[in-house]
A and B are shown apart, each in its own frame.
Chain A
Amino acid sequence: MSAAVARLHRAAAGVRWYLRAFSGESRWDAYVAACAADGTSPISRREFERHRDHLREHTAQGRCC
Chain B
Amino acid sequence: MSTTTPTAPPSGSASRSPVSIVVWVLVALVGAACWTVLALSRGEDVSALWILFAALSSYAIAYRFYARFIGRKVLKLDDRRATPAERLENGADFEVTDRRVLFGHHFAAIAGAGPLVGPVLAAQMGYLPGTIWIIVGVIFAGAVQDMVVLFFSMRRDGKSLGQMIREEIGVVGGTAALIAVFAIMIIILAVLSLVVVNALAESPWGVFSIGLTIPIALFMGFYLRYLRPGRVLETTAIGVVLLLLAIVGGGYVETWGLGEALTLDKETLTLLLVAYGFVASILPVWMLLTPRDYLSTFMKVGVIILLAAGLVLANPALSTEAVTPFASSGEGPVFAGKLFPFLFITIACGALSGFHALISSGTTPKLVAKERQVKMIGYGGMLMESFVAISALIAACVIDPGLYFAMNSPVGATGGDAASASEFVATLGFSISPDALTAAAASVEEELISRTGGAPTLAFGISLIFSDAFGGGLAAFWYHFAIMFEALFILTAVDAGTRVGRFMLQDTVGNFWPKFGDTSWKPAAWGASAVVVACWGYMLYVGVTDPLGGINQLFPLFGIANQLLAAIALTLCVTLFLKHGWVKWVWVPGVPLAWDLVVTMTASYQKVFSDNPAIGYFAQADATREARDAGQLSGAAQNADQMDVIIRNSTTNGILQATFAVLVIVVVANAAVVWARALRAGSLPTTEVAAVPSELVAPADFVATKEEKAELAAWEAERSETSGTRS
Which chain A residues have a beta carbon within 8 Å of chain B's beta carbons? 18-25, 28, 34, 37-38, 45-46, 48-50, 53, 55-65
Contact = CB atoms under 8 A, between A and B. Distances in A.
Interface in B267-293: 284-286, 290, 293
Contact of B109 (A21, A24, A57, A62): A62
Contact of B105 (A22, A37, A55, A65): A22
A53 B284 contact: yes
Interface in B343-365: 348-349, 353, 355-356, 358-359, 362-363
Contact of B502 (A38, A46, A55, A60): A60
B514 to A, nearest CB: 16
B229 A23 contact: no
- Chain B interface size band reads 35 or more
A55 B231 contact: no
A55 B92 contact: yes
A57 B229 CA distance: 16
Nearest to B726: A37
A46 B675 CA distance: 53
B113 interface: yes
B100 interface: yes
B232 interface: yes
B492 interface: yes
B294 A62 contact: no
Interface of B: 92-93, 98, 100-101, 104-105, 108-114, 188, 192, 224-225, 229-233, 236, 284-286, 290, 293-294, 348-349, 353, 355-356, 358-359, 362-363, 492-493, 495-497, 499-500, 502-503, 519-520, 562, 723-724, 726
A24 B232 contact: yes
Given A18-B101, A56-B290, A64 B353 contact: yes
A45 B229 contact: yes
A24 B290 CA distance: 12
A37 to B, nearest CB: 6
Nearest to B97: A21
Contacts of B502: 60
The 9 residue pairs across chains A and B that have the minimum distance between CB atoms: A65-B114, A23-B232, A49-B229, A63-B496, A60-B503, A53-B286, A63-B493, A60-B500, A64-B355
Contacts of A24: 232
A64 B110 contact: yes
A28 B233 contact: no
Nearest to A23: B232
A61 B98 contact: no
Contacts of B113: 65
B493 A34 contact: no
Contact of A25 (B230, B286, B290, B723): B230
A1 to B, nearest CB: 27
B101 A21 contact: yes
A19 B233 contact: yes
A20 B353 CA distance: 30
Indicate the member of A46, A50, A65 with the most B CB atoms within 10 Å: A65
A47 to B, nearest CB: 9
Contacts of B359: 62, 64
Given A25-B233, A64-B114, 16 more contacts: A34-B726, A37-B726, A48-B229, A49-B225, A53-B225, A55-B92, A56-B290, A59-B92, A59-B93, A61-B496, A62-B497, A64-B349, A64-B358, A65-B114, A65-B349, A65-B562
7 contacts: A56-B285, A61-B496, A62-B355, A62-B362, A63-B492, A63-B493, A63-B495
Given A18-B100, A56-B290, A63 B285 contact: no
Given A65-B114, A65-B562, A60 B499 contact: yes
A34 B363 CA distance: 25
A61 B296 CA distance: 14
Contacts of A22: 101, 104-105
Given A22-B101, A60-B503, A65 B285 contact: no
Contacts of B285: 53, 56-57
Given A18-B101, A49-B224, A63 B497 contact: yes
B195 to A, nearest CB: 10
A37 B230 CA distance: 22
A65 B353 contact: yes
B106 to A, nearest CB: 10
Nearest to B356: A64
Contacts of B726: 34, 37-38
A34 B645 CA distance: 63
Contact of B236 (A23, A38, A45, A64): A23
Given A18-B100, A23-B236, A45-B230, A62 B363 contact: yes
Contacts of B496: 60-63
